[in-house]
C-alpha cells in the first residue's frame, strides 16, 4: 500500500480551536526509516533569496550529516545546510516525478527527512485524486472530500501542542501531490469545503473508508477491537454496490509455506471467529489469540497487499506442500465508506449526502 511518496504522518501546522480547519497540513514524504540519501530536484525553485531557474539537481546527504543541493551538469554544490527549505517559483516543487504544492523542508538525519507543508485545500484535492480513479463520479469525490475534511478538522480541534501527528496505518490517506488533481476534483472539493460529518450534534471522532467491501461493511468494534469500542456510529451495512470493483470476486494467492510458518512462530494459525460479513475477528496460534485485523496487517506487510488485499480473508494448505494459499475478497479493512460502492451509488443518481448517510446511517452532514 505504500508507494515511493506515501503519506507517512500528518501534522497540523498550529494549535487550532475546536472545530477549526487547519490552514496547512505537513506531510512527511520521507523519514530516516526510508533510508533515502538522494533524490532528484527539478527547477524552478527558490532557497532563501536565491532562485534556481534552469538545470537538474540532486538533494542528498553529506558525510557531515548535512543536506546539499548538487547541480548535476556543473557537478558542484550550490547550497549546503543541516536543514533546507525549498519554496516554489511557480505553483509547484518537483521531486523525482511528482509535483507538490506549498513548500518542501529537507533535514539531514543520517538519511533525508522530507516534509511537504501544503495548504489544506491542496491536500484534500490530492487525497481525493490519489485515492479514487479518474473515472469516478463527482458525488463519490465529494463524499470522500467530506470525510477527509472531517478528519483534518478534528486533528486541529484535538491539538494540544504545536503539531499533532498521526502515524501511518491503513486508517489514513494516500497523498501523491499535484499530478493526482484535475479541474473536476478541484471543483468537487471546493463545493464541500464547508461540510463535515457529525454524530449526535458533535463531530464524528473518527471516520474510515476503504476501497471495496465485497458485500458489506463491518462495525469498527468487530474489526479494530478495543480501538473501535465507543464508535457506535461505525456500523456494518449490507452493500452490493461494489460489484464493478476488481476486488469483488475472491482473489487467491500462493505464498511460501516456510515464510508463512515463520510469521506465526512455526505454528499454523486457525481462524476461530468471524464477524457477520466473514471478516476474521479472532485467530488462534496454539493457545495465543490474535486480532484478525492484526493478522491481516501482518500478512499484507509480509507478502504484499496484492496477496491479501481485503480483510475478508482465509488461508489453507495448498496442493503443493511448499505453499500456503491465501484467499481474500474486497480491498481494505472494510469499515466505513466503501469507495467503489460510493461510486456506483453516484452513478445511480445518489448525492454525496445520501452516500454518506448510507455508510454512516447515524451521522449528519452539515
Q: Is residue 77 part of a domain?
A: yes
The string of pLDDT tens digits covering residues 320-355 is: 999 999 999 999 999 999 999 999 999 999 999 999
Among 68, 85, 120, the domain boundary falls at 120
Per-residue pLDDT, 19:
53
**Residue 262 has which C-alpha cell?**
515463520
In a domain, 88, yes or no: yes
Is 201 within a domain? no
**pLDDT (tens digit per residue) in 155-209:** 765 433 333 343 333 446 889 999 999 999 999 999 999 999 999 877 777 899 9
Phi then psi for residue 13, to 5 deg, are -70, -30
Measure CA 255 to chain center: 26
Rounded to whole angstroms, how far apart are CA atoms 295 and 297?
A: 5
Assign 52 to helix, strand or coil. Answer: strand
In-domain check, residue 281: yes
What's the total number of domains in the chain?
Answer: 2
Sheet holding 197-199, edge to edge: 202-203, 197-199, 363-365
- Final residue before a domain boundary, out of 101, 120, 139: 120
Q: Write down the pTM of the prediction.
A: 0.89
Domain that holds residue 266: 251-329
The DSSP 8-state label assigned to residue 250 in this structure reads: P
Asked whether residue 164 is assigned to any structural domain, the reply reads no
The dihedrals phi and psi of 87, each to the nearest 5 degrees, come to: -115, 150
- 203 assigned to some structural domain: no
Decide if 156 is inside a domain: no
Cell digits for 154?
478534528
Q: What is the sign of the dihedral through the CA atoms of 173, 177, 181 and 185?
A: positive
Q: How far apart are CA 8 and CA 199, in angstroms?
A: 28
Q: Is the pLDDT of residue 302 over 80?
A: yes
Is 32 inside a domain boundary? yes
> What pLDDT, in 10s, does the model give residues 27-42?
999 988 899 999 999 9
Q: What pLDDT, in 10s, does the model give residues 108-155?
A: 999 999 999 999 999 999 999 999 999 999 999 999 999 999 999 887
Residues 6+ apart with CB under 8 A from 65: 82, 108, 109, 110
- Residue 272 CB neighbours (<10 A): 13
- φ, ψ dihedrals at 37, nearest 5°: -115, 0
Q: What is the distance between the alpha carbons of residues 174 and 2, in angstroms, rounded to a whole number?
A: 8
CA distance 228 to 206: 9
List beta partners, residue 280: 274
Q: How confident is the model at residue 14 (pLDDT cuts 50, 70, 90)?
A: very low
Q: Among residues 120, 144, 179, which one ends one of the domains? A: 120
CA 302 – CA 324 distance, rounded (Å): 14
Dig out the grid coordinates for 176 from the structure: 501523491
CA dist 27 and 175 (Å) reads 8
Amino acid at each position: 500500500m505504500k508507494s515511493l511518496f506515501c503519506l507517512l504522518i500528518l501534522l497540523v501546522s498550529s494549535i487550532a480551536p475546536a472545530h477549526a480547519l487547519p490552514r496547512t497540513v505537513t506531510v512527511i514524504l520521507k523519514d530516516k526509516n526510508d533510508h533515502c540519501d538522494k533524490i532528484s530536484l527539478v527547477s524552478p525553485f527558490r532557497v532563501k533569496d536565491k532562485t534556481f531557474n534552469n538545470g537538474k539537481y540532486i538533494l542528498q546527504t553529506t558525510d557531515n550529516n548535512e543536506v546539499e543541493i548538487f547541480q548535476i551538469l556543473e557537478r558542484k554544490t550550490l547550497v549546503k545546510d543541516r536543514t533546507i527549505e525549498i519554496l516554489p517559483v511557480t505553483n509547484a516543487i518537483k521531486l523525482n516525478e511528482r509535483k507538490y504544492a506549498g513548500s518542501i523542508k529537507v533535514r539531514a538525519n543520517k538519511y533525508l527527512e522530507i516534509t511537504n507543508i501544503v495548504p489544506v485545500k491542496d491536500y484534500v484535492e490530492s487525497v481525493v485524486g490519489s485515492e479514487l480513479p479518474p473515472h469516478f463520479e463527482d458525488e463519490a469525490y465529494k463524499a470522500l472530500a467530506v470525510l477527509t475534511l472531517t478528519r483534518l478538522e478534528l486533528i486541529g480541534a484535538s491539538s494540544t501542542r504545536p503539531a499533532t501527528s498521526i502515524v501511518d496505518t491503513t486508517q489514513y490517506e494516500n497523498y501523491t501531490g499535484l499530478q493526482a488533481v484535475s479541474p473536476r476534483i478541484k471543483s468537487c472539493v471546493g463545493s464541500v469545503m464547508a461540510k463535515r460529518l457529525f454524530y449526535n450534534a458533535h463531530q464524528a471522532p473518527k471516520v474510515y473508508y476503504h476501497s471495496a467491501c465485497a458485500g458489506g461493511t463491518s462495525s469498527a468494534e468487530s474489526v479494530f477491537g478495543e480501538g473501535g469500542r465507543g464508535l457506535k456510529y461505525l456500523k456494518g451495512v449490507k452493500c452490493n454496490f461494489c460489484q464493478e470493483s476488481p476486488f469483488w470476486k475472491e482473489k487467491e494467492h500462493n505464498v511460501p509455506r516456510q515464510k508463512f510458518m515463520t510469521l506465526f512462530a512455526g505454528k499454523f494459525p486457525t481462524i476461530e471467529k468471524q464477524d457477520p460479513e466473514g471478516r476474521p475477528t479472532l485467530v488462534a496460534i496454539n493457545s495465543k489469540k490474535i486480532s484478525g485485523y492484526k493478522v491481516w496487517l501482518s500478512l499484507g506487510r509480509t507478502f504484499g497487499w496484492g496477496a491479501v488485499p481485503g480483510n475478508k480473508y482465509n488461508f489453507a494448505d495448498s496442493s503443493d506442500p511448499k505453499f500456503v494459499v491465501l484467499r481474500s475478497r474486497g480491498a481494505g479493512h472494510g469499515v466505513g465508506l466503501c469507495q467503489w460502492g460510493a461510486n456506483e451509488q453516484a452513478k445511480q443518481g445518489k448525492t454525496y449526502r445520501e452516500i454518506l448517510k448510507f455508510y454512516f446511517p447515524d451521522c449528519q452532514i452539515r
